[in-house]
Amino acid sequence: MKRAWVILLTGVALGLCSYCGFYFAGTASYRAMLGSATPELTWLKNEFHLSDAELQSITQLHAAYLPQCAEMCRQIDAKNAELQQLLSKSSAFTPEIESKLAEVAGIRVECQKNMLRHFFEVGRSMSAEQGKRYLAWVQARTFLPEHGMHQPASFGSPNEHGHR
Amino acid sequence: MNARNTNEQDVRLDVLLHEWKADAALPPRFQEEVWRRIAHADTPVRIPWWAELWQLLEAAFRRPALAVVYVTVLLLVGFGAGLMQAREKASQVDHTLEARYLQSVDPYLKAR
């Protein structure tokens, strides 16, 4: 009776220990990544096999780019709000709407230029092979029709663009 | 000699038994009670399913090979489940961080 209980509970305890051990070992690097100061850049380091020096250079580029990106977000939101206001007041296509659309398009072009400059700089900070891979990936995720640039711009706050 | 004595004793016992009259009264519903007890004794004792299972386990664990197999299987199940969950979690974190990076560099990329 006692022997059966001991075997039964030992099996269950070992099974649980094995589960917890492999789960924690398997997620250790990801927990460390989430605990870092800039998890998204640590992810970039892992994904594109960056050296510490490369990561440092990219972190500096990233930090310099973020204020520009935030400013673009602010301008996009402001222009979108103006356009929305014009559209809500108008019942026909007016020269003001045309002018506002041109301004919105101008900001979009400016934003695309800034982004591309940043992407090329980041790509150049990596090894040739990883840089090429990075450019292909980031352009596919931001410039291709089903992603980023081709999505309608938000009418909400800059926070919705990911600047948190 | 012994057989003759035994036969004589049996005959005397038979005579005594035939002469004996029981004058004690039977308790009420004696016969019914006797039949009830017989019926109850014939009913098989029902063992609950968990007791049967426990008996099977006890019997199985008396064999060391089966006990080792049981512990090994639970270890492997824990190993597999832990590994699968870890992979799922890793993939989830991977996607989250990828999205966070893209959102940080693309003003048009809304949080999804």
- pLDDT exceeds cutoff 60 at A147: no
Between residues A156 and A60, the one the model is more confident about: A60
Name the residue type at position A10: T
Which residues in chain A are contacts of B75 at CB distance < 8 A?
11, 14-15, 18
- H/E element holding B74? helix B64-105
Q: Report which DSSP code applies to B54.
A: H
Average pLDDT value for chain A: 85
What torsion do the CA atoms of B39, B44, B48, B53 make, to the nearest 10 degrees?
180
Q: Along the 112 residues of chain B, how does pLDDT read in single tens digits? A: 566 777 888 888 998 888 888 777 888 888 888 998 888 887 777 788 888 888 888 888 889 999 999 999 999 999 999 999 999 999 999 999 999 999 888 877 753 3
pLDDT at A160: 40
Kindly report the nearest CA distance between residue B59 and chain A, in angstroms: 9
Q: How far apart are CA A38 and CA A45, in angstroms?
A: 11
> A69-97: per-residue pLDDT in tens?
888 888 888 888 999 999 998 888 989 99
Q: How many beta carbons lie within 10 A of that of residue A152, not counting itself?
A: 8
CA dihedral A25, A30, A32, A35 (to 10 degrees): -140
Q: Is the pLDDT of residue A44 over 50?
A: yes
For residue A160, list chain B residues with Cβ-Cβ distance below 8 A.
110-111
Q: What letters, b where the CB count within 10 A reaches 16 and e where it falls short, cover B2-30?
A: eeeeeeeeeeeeeeeeeeeeeeeeeeeee
pTM beyond cutoff 0.80: no
Among A16, A161, A164, which would you mutate to test the B interface (most chain B Cβ atoms within 10 Å of its Cβ)?
Answer: A161
Q: Which pLDDT score is estimated for A73?
A: 83
- The whole-angstrom separation of Cα A37 and Cα B30 is 91
The count of C-alpha atoms lying within 13 angstroms of the C-alpha of B27, restricted to the half-sphere facing its C-beta, is 4
d(CA A60, CA A45) in angstroms, rounded, equals 14
